[in-house]
Amino acid sequence: MKYSSFFQKLLFPFIIMQLIVVVFLGYKILHKKNNVLGSSIKVNTINRNEIVYTPDQKLRYFFEPVPKSTQTDKRNWMEKEVKYTINQAGFNDRFDYPIVKPPKTIRIMTLGDSFTFGVYVNTEDNWTELLEDKLNSIKNICPNTDHFEVINLGVGGYDIEYAAKRYINRGKVYNPNIILWFLKYDDINAINEWFFPLERKISEEMKLDRSSEEYVVSKDGVPYPSWVKGFEEFHKKYGMNSILSYEKNVLNKFNENYQGNLAIFTSDNSDSETKNEIKSFSRLSPNGHYFEIPGLSSDETFPDNHPNQKGHKVISDAILNYMVKNPDIFCH
């Protein structure tokens, strides 16, 4: 579907805004906890030519990667440029997967945001690809299984609703045996469709040019000042009960479209409130499960808190360990 250049110009700032929420919230949490990664903020920007805008009547700002493309990324704190291989279905995967699952194959699907997509690492180095390779290198994990597939539906900037829509639109047809869903603090504290217009209004009131340095860090050192004010007003206007209720309705609709095993996980260094909410989300599914992975240290993350190659290995190892200990969940 083609959209006018005016429509792209209208939506693109909203996409950019959502992609920095992980950075800002991660910074806020880490700064509060001894400022482990320092005060440097890096924005995970994207190229509008690498996005397909596919909004509908409800989700006005929904977007997806351009299928069958190779995208590059480079930040000044990265040693070298990385490449994302987007397959013909629009997934950050090395391979194209047939719609019909091959015999004796366990098909795993992953949902999430940039931490699942694998931003700042080559496609082959993200945790979903590492997990696929490890599963296929170990014999006898599941009986009567010759092969494992891990299909990555993660996209940077997605909230719970966008991830659910992507599964319904793109993933359901692949009929996965199990879904792994990586959720974090920001995922349960942001609703794209509610927050985007509010932040836009606030940034205009503050007379902030989105291309300026002051949009990123104000003169008095506040990172993303319109976001700081936006989140204050967002939570004041809607309240966590309303936000969580909305997200639970989204998950209930998702569960109408998927009744298989669903394993939702988060980091073990998340705050207890976040863990409890994410755990409650897993209980909404008739076949829901919850587990935690190790929190990443500073040498396992980039300066903006995204996992580096070491971090992705930690995540893939933790998930593999969970799978080996729980074959009844994965070996269906």
Domain residue limits, the chain:
5-330
The pLDDT of residue 228: 80
Q: What are phi and psi of 93, to 5 degrees?
A: -140, 150
| CATH H-level, domain 5-330: superfamily | SGNH hydrolase (3.40.50.1110)
Task: State the 10-residue block means of pLDDT for the chain, 332 residues long.
Answer: 42 48 41 33 46 81 94 86 98 98 98 96 99 95 95 95 97 98 90 88 90 70 76 89 96 97 97 96 97 97 90 99 96 84
> For residue 329, what are the β-bridge partners?
none
Say how far apart CA 201 and CA 281 lie, in whole Å. Answer: 31
State the pLDDT at residue 139. 86
Residue 270: strand, helix, or coil: coil
Buried b (16+ CB within 10 A) or exposed e, 154-178: bbbbbbbbbbbbbbeebbeebebbb
